[in-house]
Amino acid sequence: MKDFSKLNDTEHMLQWLADQPYEEIFGEVQGMLAQQVPGSVLESFVVTSEPQWLTGARKSEDEEEKVILVRTGLAFEFELAVRGNGELHELSGVFSWAAGAMDEPENRHQRCWLDIGGTLDEFGASGSLKERVQSM
């Protein structure tokens, strides 16, 4: 089961990060879990909170009233079920995704974090997300 409905209101912003953001998130989480336990399979992923966003911009050189997005990031809480080593594990936490150099496609870079057991108070806009976005 996949449920990304709590992200629907900001899907247009997620598309700054990937053309198919929900598939990208699911794939990133699957990859991170498989790094920890080879052969593990992500069976379900449910977004359980509204996302918290942070952005950074610079003024346009051409248009004084315009700003250009240079970095962004979001964090949201999730619940997932992963099968590994023959057992099903149900986990919750915070998924974060940050990108930098968004105004320079050839230098653009991204990173994702999966903080198992974490909360948005710790890893959201008032927590680690700010540092993560600024590091981009």
27-64 confidence digits (pLDDT tens): 999 999 999 989 999 999 999 999 999 888 788 788 77
16-26 confidence digits (pLDDT tens): 888 999 999 99
Q: Are 108 and 102 in contact (CB under 8 A)?
A: yes
* Number of neighbouring beta carbons within 10 Å of residue 77: 22
Q: Are 45 and 6 in contact (CB under 8 A)?
A: no
Q: Dig out the tokens for 47 from the structure.
A: 């977004």
What pLDDT is stored for residue 79 in this prediction?
Answer: 98
What pLDDT is stored for residue 63 in this prediction?
Answer: 78
User: What is the domain count for the chain?
Assistant: 1
The kind and range of the H/E element at 104 are none
More confident residue, 62 or 115: 115
Q: Which structural domain range is residue 117 located in? A: 2-135
* Position 105 confidence tier, pLDDT thresholds 50, 70, 90: confident
What pLDDT is stored for residue 41 in this prediction?
Answer: 94
Q: Tell me the DSSP string of 9-63.
A: GGHHHHTTT-SSHHHHHHHHHHHHHHHHSTT-EEEEEEE-S--EEEEEEEE-SS-
pLDDT, average across residues 96-125: 91
56-100 confidence digits (pLDDT tens): 878 878 877 888 777 889 999 999 999 988 899 999 999 999 988
Q: What length is written for the chain?
A: 136
pTM of the model: 0.90
